[in-house]
Structure 1
């Protein structure tokens, strides 16, 4: 027979009050019900725990030895229950998210701060990686949700929200295209480009746009990270194409941003989870705030 939390609580109450009557009142039980719990615990332990007469209740030697052990067990189990309830009602828990570096450096910090104010015990595990890795981490359940880019074809993943991110050209102020208010694909085809590496969601959009137009881009460099691409543009190695939402775009006073006058330069954005999996309540709360924020971004474009 296993130890029962109610029986342990009854034993500790009787030991602390020295009375079955007072212990029953503390636990809001009838005295016969309390007696049943103590007997059940004694049967489980295999020893008498109290010596009882008409005037007093005293711990037996076995009871004295077990009291600190069972008090600690009761404390630990009650805290496990408290933590479990907090996880269940969303007042505690960890949001495990994989997301595009663009999102991690722009929208995510504000959303984390927002949730931490509402749920102070919330924790975060953040993996900022390229789109293909976001999908892999969600599929393998290493994270619960992901913000990914590009077309999603994996049937194991469920889209919770879909949006898009327009791409822009980033160039030095003295570049020949700086005089234009908007640039075209033909303009971009005629200049050296610093494009993010194969496997990134931005590169997939750019390659698709050039392929559909029957053009071949002049690729000067292929860095993995947007910050590196911006540094290469600042050094005069070419023009880069980045999401308009990227903070790297707005952080460089020496560079200009120009819209691309072509509907093909739009990156799909999706909030995803593993199909058929239930999200932790704290993550559900975060997802609601995230969807609201992504919707605001789409409305502002």
Structure 2
């Protein structure tokens, strides 16, 4: 029996209803669903054993929005489990599946009508007074940001240990290509397609005229060092987990060599069609070469 890992935003009734629908469909198709502990208890599914030596799961289905997909990505980053997202959220750059056609889309994946996109992850290492205190991985971004008060922070940035800048700003985003359409885009950063082997550093509301986003290569290391006396400075991981920083902590960020996230794309899907649809770049019915001149 094929096994599929089911990861669901259980706070959304639409996500739960779709999950129950898929479970019922799977029973008729002799497809078994397993789930992480929380979803297992909510949906009455067998709990996936993360310690099993031989992985029986063919792929994972994520039901929710991009936030649910980011949570799922951290779960599977150490496992060879590609993910397919079904969108019951809002924008949905990572969860591209249509809930109305969920069964049909899963059938296509089971038949092999898909391709795998290997998405880079960031590795962030936090060093405090010479000691390593955190090692973090993120599919979208790692962000240094200020606390709730409207006060700037100063962050020193270095690239491959060469001094780059001392920037007064609300914070700094370091993003993967996957995350370039998330927070980094809102802060004025460029869009990098997921196959581009790079990362981008984007200041948040810099108090200077010269600050610009910077694209860096896969072999580069960005080092960020808070210099402000402000007490509340944080490092956030994919906008979901936060870590308090101290002045003169050093955060070294690079493309992870040992981890990535595999995502499933149906053969008819195209990243640039997705961009046009989500960012509303003109009429989606117009295709290259089909214009009526």
Mark yes or no: TM-score above 0.5. Answer: no
Normalization by structure 2: what TM-score? 0.25
Structure showing the higher helix proportion among its residues: 1
User: Greater relative contact order (Cα 8 A, min sep 6): structure 1 or 2?
Assistant: 1
Structure showing the higher strand proportion among its residues: 2
